[in-house]
Copies of this chain bind each other. A is one copy, B any other.
Amino acid sequence: MTPAPSRPEPILEVRDIGKAYGAVRALQGVSASVGAGEVLCVLGDNGAGKSTFIKILAGAHPHSEGTLLAFGAERRFMHPREALDLGIATVYQDLAVVGLMPVWRNFFLGAELTRGRGPLRRLDAARMRATTKHELARMGIDLRDVDQPIGTLSGGERQSVAIARAVYFGAKVVILDEPTSALGVKQAGVVLSYIARARDRGLGVVFITHNPHHAYPVGDRFLLLQRGRSLGDFAKSEITIDEMTALMAGGAELEALAHELERR
């Protein structure tokens, strides 16, 4: 688990990358990379630019400064399709599901299974239903009915669908934006084990979370963002969980807080 002295070849790499939304500079001068079999955790305060960072990697927004390298070649994704085609699967913070569509259609959206050929090529609904049910069951979610609109699921159930989908389709890189935030203890555990397993299968994983207890066990490298800028990109050997927590919390007030809560 200790980082190998020679890091794997990066699959995704950004150099001095930046992004502005109109007048707001959401991200500037951030550099980081993730290799095969590596987990890059992105940590930071609210509004630090984490979602913006992964949206650039996922092709949801093109970056406005710096360079992005995917598999060694410079790229500027204009459409998520381009990233997906390279094997980069993403779970967005807002999940990217279509509320009115059944769960199974959401699961396979954009990568539907088909039967037959030519004009008779049609959806293989039975297989998609079964796969969806199975993949969700593996995450500890037993849905009564994969035909119900995904909008009627609870927040955590929806998140689980999005994660199961990304893991199922993620070919080379899986990007997860706060996947555990809405999850129960059990489901969060399952997601973490998924991340570990994806890593072990040689996938690169980019994992955003606010919970140092979720990040530290699975992460190999930690990118800390603050107000759109990088505080550094640390290997696990370079930082302890407590240092990390302190950096994320922006000071030592946390200890005081813990006492505060108990006082009445």
**Interface, chain A (partner B; CB < 8 A):** 1, 21, 24, 44-48, 51, 93-94, 141, 144, 152-157, 159-160, 178, 181-189, 192-193, 196, 199-200, 210-213, 217-218, 245, 248-251, 253-254, 257-258, 260-264
Contacts and interface: CB of A to CB of B under 8 A. Distances in A.
List of 6 A-B pairs having minimum Cβ-Cβ separation, nearest first: A46-B156, A47-B154, A217-B261, A45-B184, A181-B181, A185-B249
A45 B189 CA distance: 12
A264 B198 CA distance: 11
Given A184-B46, A196-B261, A263-B196, A254 B189 contact: yes
Nearest to A159: B46
Contacts of A1: 262-264
A260 B46 contact: no
A contacts with B: majority SS: helix
A47 B153 contact: yes
19 contacts: A1-B263, A24-B144, A45-B186, A46-B184, A47-B156, A51-B154, A156-B210, A181-B181, A183-B210, A184-B210, A184-B249, A185-B210, A186-B248, A186-B250, A192-B261, A193-B257, A200-B264, A213-B213, A217-B258
Contacts of A196: 260-261, 263-264
Most buried by B among A24, A178, A184: A184
Contacts of A21: 152
A189 B218 CA distance: 23
What copy number does this chain have within its complex?
A: 2
Given A24-B152, A186-B251, 18 more contacts: A1-B264, A24-B144, A45-B156, A46-B156, A46-B160, A46-B183, A47-B153, A48-B184, A93-B182, A178-B182, A181-B181, A183-B210, A184-B210, A185-B254, A189-B257, A196-B264, A199-B264, A218-B261
Nearest to A253: B189
Contacts of A258: 217
Given A1-B262, A264-B199, A182 B46 contact: yes
A211 B180 CA distance: 11
Contacts of A193: 257, 260-261
Contacts of A199: 264
A46 B156 CA distance: 5
Q: Which of A188, A249, A261 neighbours the largest number of chain B CB atoms within 10 Å of its CB?
A: A261
B183 A212 contact: no
A31 to B, nearest CB: 21
Contacts of A261: 192-193, 196, 217-218
